[in-house]
Structure 1
Amino acid sequence: MCGIFAYLNFNVSRERRYILEVLFNGLRRLEYRGYDSAGISIDSSIYSGSDLNRQIFTPPLVFRQEGNIESLVKSVYQDVDATDLNLEESFSIHAGIAHTRWATHGEPAPRNSHPQTSDAGNEFLVVHNGVVTNYEVLKETLVRHGFTFESETDTEVIPKLAKFVFDKANEEGDQSVTFSQVVIEVMRHLEGAYALIFKSRHYPNELIACKRGSPLLLGVKVSCMCF
């Protein structure tokens, strides 16, 4: 069975190393469900831009690996060493997602692992527990609109559909389309049972979680001062 996990720290400074370990430990807590591959996505750098309302992250980083979680951890830190990614970089807000996969559509392989992505720029990313029963119809439609698929999963249609909805809204002049509006429109087209978490470079510092039929648990830690 697949397992999804996400972590968002809001106005609490956390280093990339800490964020990675939270995601890895979240996956370790899901090991009881069984899996054959795993993956995570984290932000690549602090956002750029002068307009506070339209700040956009550089493309999120995606790491996917066949095998157990420790194989994923090892490959992530190998990639970190190879690219000199700064593990001490601090984020006051960071949205990370993670996944363990039990193959249903497509063999266990990095290309079939999650997060699944909308395109090479990782504009939209999704981790998914469940099954999209009408994915073949959606895939055919998206291929006709120029999308190229890299995996054999049913999940890949979801981030690509999100990009299609987002691009269409912008082409029609709706520059203010929200992340929630994009996800709600995507859900309107999905059939089956699923729990999903969406991440997007167009909506930095946000995650959208939604479900239909599959379980999903949301936890919030609040710090307060009592007088």
Structure 2
Amino acid sequence: MCGIFAYLNYNVNRERRYILQVLFNGLRRLEYRGYDSAGIAIDSDPKALPQRSSASDSDPPPIVFRQEGNIESLVKSVYQDVAKLELSMEASFSTHAGIAHTRWATHGEPAPRNSHPQSSGAGNEFLVVHNGVITNYEVLKETLIRHGYTFESETDTEVIPKLAKYVYDKANEAAGGQVVTFSQVVLEVMRHLEGAYALIFKSSHYPNELIACKRGSPLLLGVKVS
């Protein structure tokens, strides 16, 4: 059975090392559910972020790590990849939104491409971790393919971030310069989804924000005030 986990530190400095440890420990707490793969998504180094040309520019894409096997296999591969990417473990974020997932294969074999977070495509504009089943994913997938989207996994989950990007693009075209909120995008995506699910969305268009939603599946929110 899949498990989703997210951690958002708001207005309190946390180093990447700490953020990774929280995400990994969250996944370890979900080990009792059974899984065959796992993954996380985090942000780039703050010092590496390019200057924005306007306030509406999106942040650089989040970094996604996905691995078949147990959680410790993911932990090992993440630390190896972080070193290869020369990401600073001491990089400090005053606000950071990270997501994580353990997967029990229902659609597609256990493999990195079928692990979560699933992405909207190149650039990881929208990322989703998902527990549950989207019963109408085949219809949504066919529709998105007709609109030019390419799918890389066999999961039902991949339709969700791609649908989010489609909704976001269309909403911005129709908005005439008005701001389209993250909540508006997610609510419209949910309107098209059938089944039982719990989801967490992360997007470079809405930095330092997460949207969690559910229909049928359980979802728990915790707040720590320090």
Within the candidate set 195, 204, 208, 2:198 is matched to: 195
Query: Secondary structure of 1:180's partner?
Result: helix
Aligned to 2:102: 100
Asked if 2 retains the 8 angstrom alpha-carbon contact of 1:95 and 1:205, the reply is yes
Query: Is the contact between residue 183 and residue 211 of structure 2 (CA under 8 Å) also seen in structure 1?
Result: yes
Please report how far the alpha carbon of residue 175 of structure 1 lies from its aligned counterpart in structure 2 after TM superposition: 4.0
Partner of 2:166: 164
1:43-82 matches, within 5 Å, as 43-46=43-46, 47-49=49-51, 53-54=55-56, 56-82=58-84
The DSSP-based 3-state class of the residue aligned with 2:73 is helix
Q: 1:129-158 CA distances to partner (integer Å, 9 max, x unpaired)?
A: 000000000000000000000000000000
Of residues 167-176 and 63-72 in structure 1, the stretch that sits farther from structure 2 once superposed is 167-176
TM-score of the two chains, using structure 1 as the length reference:
0.95
Match of 2:122 among 116, 120, 123: 120
Letter of the 2:221 counterpart: L
- Aligned-partner Cα distance in 1 for 2:171–2:34: 39
Q: Offset of 1:68 from its aligned partner?
A: 0.1
Question: Within 1, Cα distance between the matches of 2:145 and 2:222?
Answer: 37
1:219 to 215, 222, 226: 222
User: Per the alignment, in what secondary structure is the counterpart of residue 8 of structure 1?
Assistant: strand
Could you tell which deviates more after superposition, 53-62 or 180-189?
53-62
State whether residues 38 and 116 of structure 2, in contact with CA within 8 Å, keep that contact through their aligned partners in structure 1. yes
Normalised by the length of structure 2, the TM-score is 0.96
How many residue pairs get matched? Answer: 223
Checking the alignment, whether the CA contact within 8 Å between 2:127 and 2:202 is kept in structure 1 is yes
Q: 140, 146, 149: which one pairs with 2:148?
A: 146
> Per-residue deviation at 1:50?
5.3
Q: Which runs of 4+ in 1 moved over 4 A?
A: 47-53
Aligned twin of 1:205: 208
- In the alignment, structure 1 segments of 5+ residues that lack a partner are none
2: CA distance between counterparts of 1:123 and 1:171? 17
Report % sequence identity: 83
Contact 1:2/1:130 (8 A) holds in 2: yes
Gaps of 5+ in 2: none
AA in 2 matched with 1:146: G
Cα distance between partner residues in 2 of 1:195 and 1:58: 26
Q: In structure 2, what is the Cα distance between the partners aligned to 1:169 and 1:131? A: 26
* Deviation for aligned residue 1:200: 0.0
Cα deviation for residue 82 of structure 1 reads 1.3
Cα offset, 1:53, TM superposition: 4.8
Name the Cα RMSD after superposition: 1.3
| SS at structure 2 position matched to 1:187 | helix
The Cα of 1:80 is off from its aligned counterpart by 1.2
Q: Name the residue aligned to 1:30.
A: 30
Shift of 1:44: 1.2
Q: Is the 8 A contact 2:45 2:88 kept in 1?
A: no
2:219 counterpart letter in structure 1 = L
Match among 183, 188, 204 for residue 186 of structure 2: 183
Cα distance between partner residues in 2 of 1:218 and 1:144: 37
Moved more, 52-61 or 14-23: 52-61
Give the conservation status (yes or no) of the 8 Å contact 1:45–1:57: no
Q: Distance in 2 between matches of 1:45 and 1:115?
A: 20
